[in-house]
Amino acid sequence: MSTHEKHDFDLFVIGAGSGGVRAARIAAGHGARVGICEESRVGGTCVIRGCVPKKLLVYASHFAEEFEDAHGFGWTVEAARFSWPRLLRAKDAEIDRLNRVYIRLLMESGVTLYPRRGTLIGPHAIRLGEQVVTAGHILIATGGRPWRPDLPGIEHAITSDEAFQLQDLPPRVAVVGGGFIACEFAGIFNGLGAEVTQIYRGDAVLRGFDGDVRRVVGDELRKKGIDLKLATDVARITRTDPGLELELQDGQRVMADQVLYATGRVPNVRGLGLEEVGVAVRADGRVVVDELSRTSVDHIYAVGDVTSRVNLTPVAIYEGHAFADTVFGGWERPVNHEFVPSAVFSQPPVGTVGYSEEDAVHHVGAVDIYLAEFQPMKHTLSGRDEKMMMKLVVESATQEVVGVHIVGPDAPEIVQGFAVAVKSGLTKEQFDSTIGIHPTAAEELVTMRKPVRSHG
């Protein structure tokens, strides 16, 4: 008996975020009968409550500095006022539009959408409320969710999910965490006029990033007026008449009107039925998969943040596409997670691809480090005290560029192009033989002549 006769669908996807939607559309394009379910809004974390609305808020938060910088270029900007409700209405309208686009893309691909929660009840069966459907293959693409520690008063804190829906801009915000989400929201609230305190238990923000990136971002956050408190953590949160009082482990006290916890995300697997059907899950919730996104149960696959491989939207899309090509397109496509570029839309932003200086010595051995720090050209007239940092990590033996790290204006846009070079294994000599575009910041990456240090 064929799959077409035996099951309702050839593929059923649980979760209609970036990875799930891409997998569903590509599989349908290969001729599969595809169903997908989503308990929230189609589009997932990135579109609905993540990268897209975040970057819109980042754009909004830049204008205060732009108005200030304009003075140095001869402009007079008077009586600029900001309205948080107007920004949120504009943001919500754009998210609504994208949500409709995603739904239309599924419909046009012939995918059947179930707007409800799905749970596994067997290796080929999914419960959707009162209904049960079966599928030859099942894809788990339920993403991640914010995590908060259990401490006294944590119920008074919000996460990034709620931050996008605040009715008013809080005058004082405490951001707890040092990762990219924490740094981004600290910059957003600070740029929009709030008094921001950022609290992180580590000795530098952006753990896992290159050391020079961490140093420069921390310095710049402070220059912009964020009260960055490192090497301490929150012990308790208490609601008082003047606002929320945070008692830190080192005895300091911080007053805030809103406390945002950005202390990490965990796979969204609660109540999904994975363990009941035998899908191997690690202690932190991540679904265990191989390079073809196969779980421990035949015909059940997983992609995106729920697998906690590289938790980035384009990676989830790539994994979903590769899965559909492998299973339904007759083209085996293992996913390679090496040299994945990423960005932090902090202020200033970060763009990075490849190994950090600290990790490179463990992965490739001896390395040469090229580093430049300078004032962006714009600020020669604006007068703003802001530094830009550019860095190359080069494998000594082969002279391949194995890391590019940038902090400063347009860093993510610059790194996207250089990521192609790093992924392609280009050498420092090939970088040097490329003529720069003048005057740009990016030209610095092809004009660095002498390493500042070497390891190994």
Work out the pLDDT band at 1, boundaries 50, 70, 90. very low
- Provide the sign of the torsion angle of the four alpha carbons 254, 259, 260, 264, taken in this order: positive
- Asked whether residue 343 is domain-assigned, the answer is no
Q: Do 257 and 285 sit in the same domain of this protein?
A: no
**Statement: residue 338 has pLDDT above 80:** yes
Q: Report cis status (omega within 30 of 0) of the bond before 334.
A: no
What is the per-residue pLDDT across 343-385, written as a single tens digit (0 to 9) for each?
999 999 999 999 999 999 999 999 999 999 999 999 999 999 9
The H-or-E segment that residue 51 falls in is: helix 51-70
At residue 377, what is the residue type? M
Question: What is the DSSP code string of 271-321?
Answer: TS-TGGGT--B-TTSPBP--TT-B-SSTTEEE-GGGG-SS--HHHHHHHHH
**Domain boundary at 263, 280, 313, which?**
263
Query: Does residue 381 lie in a domain region?
Result: yes
Report if residue 388 sits inside a domain.
Answer: yes
Q: Which amino acid is at 278?
A: G
Mark whether 271 and 321 lie in a shared domain. yes
Count of domains for the chain: 3
Q: What is the chain's alpha carbon radius of gyration, rounded to the nearest angstrom?
A: 24
Residues 108 and 141 in one domain: yes
We report the CATH number of the domain holding residue 450 as: 3.30.390.30
Amino acid 142: pLDDT: 98
| Helix, strand, coil percent content, the chain, rounded in steps of 5 | 35, 25, 40
Residue 4 has pLDDT above 70, yes or no: no
Last residue of a domain, one of 235, 263, 291: 263
Please indicate, yes or no, whether residues 236 and 273 belong to a single structural domain of this protein. no
* Last residue in a domain, options 248, 263, 278: 263
Q: Are residues 311 and 200 in the same domain?
A: no
Residues 117, 205 within the same domain = no
Shared domain for 312 and 368, answered yes or no, is: no
Q: Mark whether 302 and 406 lie in a shared domain.
A: no
Question: Which tens digits make up the pLDDT trace of 63-103?
Answer: 999 999 999 999 999 989 999 999 999 999 999 999 999 99
Asked, for residue 335, whether it belongs to a domain, the answer is: no
Length of the chain: 456
Co-location of 108 and 197 in the same domain: no
0.85 exceeded by pTM: yes
Quote the CA–CA distance of 175 and 158 in Å, as a whole number.
10
Q: Identify the CA nearest to 50 among candidates 320, 312, 387.
A: 312
The answer to whether residue 336 is domain-embedded is no
pLDDT tier at 445 (50, 70, 90 boundaries)? very high
Q: Same domain, yes or no, for 20 and 128?
A: yes
Distance CA 370, CA 454 (A): 9
Question: Under DSSP, is residue 259 helix (H, G, I), strand (E, B) or coil?
Answer: strand
Residues 426 and 298 in one domain: no
Give the tokens for residue 204: 């530098």
Domain range spanning residue 199? 154-263
Instruction: Compute the mean pLDDT over every residue in the chain, rounded to the nearest whole number.
Output: 97
Q: Which backbone phi and psi does 398 adopt, to 5 degrees? A: -100, -15
Active site amino acids = 438
* pLDDT score of 420: 98
CATH number at residue 183: 3.50.50.60
Q: How many other C-beta atoms lie within 10 A of the C-beta of residue 338?
A: 11
d(C-alpha 307, C-alpha 250), whole Å: 36
Query: Tokens 């997983």 belong to which residue?
Result: 302
| Cα–Cα distance for residue pair 338/323, rounded to 1 Å | 18
